[in-house]
């Protein structure tokens, strides 16, 4: 998709955001690049891509053209400057929390969470030195009481599973 001087509507962004039409095929749909690896112009170029000194396609676990279109499309739909696709919601939560918090920091969380999230918070985050303070209450005041100068996030689910 090329840049335009007008704001595209949400419905249009859902279908077209983040995609440049392939000049070789003029395909409307985003191609699915199933490749796990890519060819480099030189070994130096490959080294720069793998060390993240340069951006480009090196290995699909780092980035993939199909995933890149998805990320750009989500960012456009959300009005953001970028997004990052993860393999699961648990991965997304872990990435977000470990980006915000370091060893010695804490987060506040509802005790009423999806079981996988509860275990991630109760078992995995403490292994990284991130303390999770749980509350059984759904009252904002109870969350506020737990906040201190090392609190980096407050986490709750709008509809907990199971409820």
- Dmax (CA) of the chain: 60
What pLDDT score does 158 carry?
82
pTM: 0.70
Does residue 160 lie within any of the structural domains?
no
What ranges in 64-138 are assigned the alpha helix state H? 65-78, 89-100, 115-119, 125-127
The reply to whether 66 and 97 lie within a common domain is no
Structural domains of the chain, count: 2
Does residue 65 lie within any of the structural domains?
yes
Instruction: Determine the structural domain holding residue 102 and report its residue range.
Output: 89-155
What pLDDT score does 3 carry?
52
Other C-beta atoms closer than 10 Å to the C-beta of 64 total 21
Does residue 151 lie within any of the structural domains?
yes
The reply to whether 72 and 105 lie within a common domain is no
What pLDDT score does 162 carry?
64
Please list the ranges in the chain whose pLDDT falls under 70: 1-6, 162-163
Cα–Cα distance, 155 to 93 (Å, whole number) = 10
């Amino acid at each position: 998709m090329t840049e335009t001087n007008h704001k595209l509507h949400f419905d249009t962004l859902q279908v077209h955001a983040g995609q440049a039409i392939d000049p070789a095929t003029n395909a409307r749909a985003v191609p699915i690049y199933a490749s796990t690896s890519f060819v480099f112009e030189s070994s130096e170029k490959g080294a720069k891509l793998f060390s993240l000194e340069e951006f480009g396609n090196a290995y699909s676990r780092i980035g993939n053209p199909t995933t890149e279109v998805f990320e750009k499309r989500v960012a456009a739909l959300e009005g953001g400057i970028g997004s990052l696709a993860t393999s699961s919601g648990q991965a997304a939560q872990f990435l977000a929390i470990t980006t915000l918090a370091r060893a010695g920091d804490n987060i506040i969380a509802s005790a009423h969470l999806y079981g996988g999230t509860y275990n991630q918070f109760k078992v995995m985050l403490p292994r990284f030195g991130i303390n999770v303070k749980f509350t059984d209450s759904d009252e904002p005041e109870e969350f506020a009481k737990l906040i201190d100068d090392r609190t980096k996030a407050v986490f709750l689910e709008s509809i907990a599973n199971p409820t």
